[in-house]
Amino acid sequence: MLKTAVSLSSPKPAISVIVPVHQDGSAFRRCIFSLAQAIPQPEEVIIISDGAGDSIRPLADKYGYCLLQNPSGIGPAKARNFGAARACGDILFFVDSDVVIRPDSVARILSAFKDNPDIAALIGSYDDEPAESNFLSQYKNLFHHYVHQNSNEEASTFWGACGAIRRRIFLESGGFDETYRRPCIEDIEFGYRLRKSGHRIRLLKTLQCKHLKKWTIRSLLKSDLLDRAMPWTELILRDRILINDLNLRLSNRISVALVFLAVCLLMAGLWRREFTLVALIFLAIVLIINLPLYRFFLSRRKLLFTLKVIPWHIIYCLCCGLGFAVGSFSVLAGKIKASFGKIGKRKSIDWLRKNI
């Protein structure tokens, strides 16, 4: 995690924008251009080249932005920490390299911290006009928008794609966990630590940005299962904190459980038809529970789009269920391995009998 001896004070309230970038491209260039259009301008913009090479230097020089080079990829958590250690502003504004902010984003952040001196950090959301036109990109980004816009303003965690925090608190909290070497849940884990330390995080729903990422079947399934569900399960079991917010709202958890059971029953239905009927009932309940979500898609993209959303939402729930199962097994396996190393085989068996 972050270790620095940099002073925690600055002469005036100011924003330092921190942008880690792993690959140069049109999305990154649009991101930087949007920062140049911000009113007012941030005190500084720090770009961390996380293995992106020297091709981005001309762009940084064009706008007078600070460029920090890391020839080999160190991951977004360490890159953000590296940028934060060099920042001079009182407020750190983290922006992903595939995100376009609005011209008033900096003003909204400054105003929110001024009007709410007791908050440590704030996060925004993606807007409801995703940049990529293919179905999965529209679905994924609109889904994210819906979740954030319908969550508690007293936020439960942090978001690194468009999130700001008081620099003093960031440094005191140790920054992002650098053991996360790829884009994962490093921001969620950091938010959990902030809340555990008693700091307040606000979800500023008017702070919206545009996501430029093009989602494919492979990237979507990989993100939902490997980069979200599994590590988030391990985090929940580690901290023993199950929040009723964002993707972990009670309705979402019930949907995941019902979909997971429905799939198991459909497989059992190959032998007994009664199981298939119960599975279909479970899936019908899932549809009823998520009617507000489907109404949202219907209001934004009409009927045909919404009908295509439903099976992908079922797949999303299945990924969450699989991720929870695998993540839980991983935690259990780690405990079993540790117990074997400490107390031997016979006592490990006794431990299993007591704890499973």
Calculate mean pLDDT across residues 312-331. 88
What is the model's pLDDT at position 9?
42
Instruction: List every span in the chain annotated with CATH 3.90.550.10.
Output: 15-214
Mean of pLDDT values over 340-345: 53
pLDDT at 348: 47
pLDDT band at residue 324 under the 50/70/90 scheme: confident
pTM: 0.87
Over residues 3-18, the pLDDT tens digits come to 443 334 444 469 999 9
pLDDT mean over 123-129: 95
* pLDDT value of position 108: 96
Mean per-residue pLDDT, 246-272? 87
Buried b (16+ CB within 10 A) or exposed e, 77-102: bbbbbbbbbebbbbbbbbbbbbbbbb
pLDDT tens digits along 165-189: 999 999 999 999 998 887 788 999 9
- pLDDT tens-place string over residues 64-108: 999 998 767 778 899 999 999 999 999 999 999 999 999 999 999
| pLDDT at residue 340 in the model | 62
CATH number belonging to the domain at 15-214, selected among 2.60.120.260, 3.90.550.10, 3.30.70.20, 3.90.480.20: 3.90.550.10
